[in-house]
Amino acid sequence: MFKKKVKANLGKFVQAKTKDGEIKGVLVPFRGKQMVENRSGIYDINEITDVTPTNTLGKDTLSYLRAVRRRHDIS
């Protein structure tokens, strides 16, 4: 079966496919493209597979999410 395509706004915590596998992180604009940033770097993505609601994130992840949004000027 084909999965329904997932859309996400910038600054959301997402799970995405890369050429090396799947990663979780914050969707950010970088070099004119949408990429995912997590604690170990910024990754080029092929597609977004899941979006995590902000109210279900833990305290540490939420503070990291806010820091990334501030760094990239995402409201």
Rounded Cα distance, 5 and 50, in Å: 9
Give residue 2's pLDDT band: very low, low, confident or very high (50, 70, 90): low
* Beta-sheet pairing, 33-38 with 41-44: antiparallel
pTM of the model: 0.87
* Beta-sheet pairing, 22-30 with 33-38: antiparallel
pLDDT of residue 1: 55
Give tens-digit pLDDT for 3-60: 677 888 999 999 999 999 999 999 999 999 999 999 999 999 999 999 999 999 999 9
Which has more pLDDT, 75 or 40?
A: 40
Dihedral, CA atoms, 24, 11, 35, 60, nearest 10 degrees? -40
How many CB atoms sit inside 10 A of residue 2's CB? 4
